A and B are shown apart, each in its own frame.
Chain A
Amino acid sequence: DTAVSQTPKYLVTQMGNDKSIKCEQNLGHDTMYWYKQDSKKFLKIMFSYNNKELIINETVPNRFSPKSPDKAHLNLHINSLELGDSAVYFCASSPTSGGPYEQYFGPGTRLTVT
């Protein structure tokens, strides 16, 4: 029944490693997003994909690479992890037919880089 799911929920890793966070939505939406929430709770959009095409690409280090194999999935791959990457990452989705519509968020992935 989960609308937007993310795995893993928690991710602890060391500096320099490469990791991926997976996101899947079963709402039939054609737009998906990645957000980063820092320790002060500030939420910032990172990427937006519409029908597997990158639409929004904020000023994010190129160590972050989103990949959308199909409309229902948007994964986030992070290379050479740094301490400053520690945050909660949220995936979201929204429909775009006749919008705008609100975004539905996943439960978040808490990434801790040590």
Chain B
Amino acid sequence: AQKVTQAQTEISVVEKEDVTLDCVYETRDTTYYLFWYKQPPSGELVFLIRRNSFDEQNEISGRYSWNFQKSTSSFNFTITASQVVDSAVYFCALSERPLPLDMRFGAGTRLTVKP
């Protein structure tokens, strides 16, 4: 069965530091979909990125970047020059089916960025 592991329960950094959130997944399928969501203190879940298993290209969006490596079953998320507003719980998720999505979430990593 699909499984997502976010081994880092909590991370604390000082503003402007770079930080990487780890995500390791398990699946028997060759086609699958990976996601990152952000949950700020206000509680809503905000979509950040989706990745298909056949697209290993890394992605950069502003200060955010994602490193997808099938060889290590990892989909890590890096925030460059972190800011206080980045403080949130970040979830990695995996779906083995596209329609409808059957997302299984990791336990989340709580990131605290201190000024």
Q: Which of A's residues lie within 8 Å of B, judged by CB?
A: 31, 33, 40-45, 48, 50, 55-56, 88, 90, 92, 94, 96, 99-105, 107-108
Option from A42, A44, A103, A108 in Cβ contact (under 8 Å) with B101: A103
Option from A100, A104, A105, A107 in Cβ contact (under 8 Å) with B99: A100
> What are 23 pairs between A and B in contact, CB < 8 Å?
A31-B99, A33-B101, A40-B107, A41-B110, A42-B108, A44-B105, A45-B103, A48-B101, A48-B102, A55-B100, A92-B45, A94-B100, A100-B52, A100-B98, A101-B50, A102-B35, A102-B50, A103-B101, A105-B44, A105-B47, A108-B43, A108-B44, A108-B45
**Residues of A with C-beta under 8 A to B75:** none
A90 vs B45: C-alpha distance when bound (angstroms): 9
**Residues of A with C-beta under 8 A to B101:** 31, 33, 48, 94, 99-103
**Residues of B with C-beta under 8 A to A90:** 45
* B89 within 8 A of partner (CB): yes
- Asked whether A107 lies within 8 Å of B44 as measured between CB atoms, the reply is yes
Option from A41, A56, A108 in Cβ contact (under 8 Å) with B102: A56
Q: Which of B's residues lie within 8 Å of A, judged by CB?
A: 33, 35, 37, 39, 43-47, 50, 52, 89, 91, 95, 98-105, 107-108, 110
**Residues of B with C-beta under 8 A to A50:** 99-100
Q: Identify whether the interface residues of A are mostly helix, strand, loop, or mixed.
A: strand
B103 to chain A, nearest CB (A): 6
A105 vs B45: C-alpha distance when bound (angstroms): 6
- Asked whether B44 lies within 8 Å of A33 as measured between CB atoms, the reply is no
- Asked whether A42 lies within 8 Å of B98 as measured between CB atoms, the reply is no
**Residues of B with C-beta under 8 A to A92:** 45
**Residues of A with C-beta under 8 A to B50:** 100-102
B3 to chain A, nearest CB (A): 13
